[in-house]
Amino acid sequence: MRHRLVLVRHAKAEAAADSDASRELTERGQAQSSAVGTALAGKLRGNVHACVSSAERAVQTWRLASAGIGAEVTSEQMDALYTADADDLLSLVRSTDESIDTLVVVGHNPTVADVVSRLASDGSGAAYDALRTHGYSPSTSTVFDIDGAWSSLDSTSAELREYVGPQA
């Protein structure tokens, strides 16, 4: 059984708004989001589902990215992703239904970067080197292949396949 996990940090957002959750993407963030979709086109396989933080910047990131992906994807906004820490996010991924082949998560730092770091801790290769060199800036995404059930996800079952840094 092989699954695919795509972790996306929301794109560049405005510095301030009425509330943190209502911060919107900047013009650059909008361009970054579209570029995320282009970069992910062809990389999502099978039954694809996206879990998106309910924060406006994450919702906008996914809306613009999904337009360029070229695949049918079900999605849901989740308040829990807005406040999730790395353990919460890993629990969410581990509870994914086995019928989902590819799970996309659009969230926030430091959570997304922490999960990526945990899953890639045993990594090597070009994607791992790029991650270590460039970090997890806004609109960065990583693609992992997972051997086994979602519930068994850890650094030994996850293989970092691709690192996609900001494109705009």
Which pLDDT tens digits describe the chain residue by residue (168 residues)?
Answer: 699 999 999 999 999 999 999 999 999 999 999 999 999 999 999 999 999 999 999 999 999 999 999 889 999 999 999 999 999 999 999 999 999 999 999 999 999 999 999 999 877 788 989 988 898 999 999 999 999 999 999 999 999 999 999 877
Superfamily grouping for domain 2-164: Phosphoglycerate mutase-like (3.40.50.1240)
DSSP per-residue codes, the chain: -EEEEEEEE---B-S--SSGGGPPB-HHHHHHHHHHHHHHTTT--SSEEEEEESSHHHHHHHHHHHHHH-S-EEEEEEHHHHH--HHHHHHHHHTS-TT-SEEEEEE-TTHHHHHHHHHTTT--SHHHHHHHHH---TT-EEEEEEES-GGG-STTTEEEEEEE----
Q: Where are the domains of the chain?
A: 2-164
Residue-level pLDDT at 23: 98
Q: What is the model's pTM? A: 0.96
Residue-level pLDDT at 166: 87
Residue-level pLDDT at 1: 61
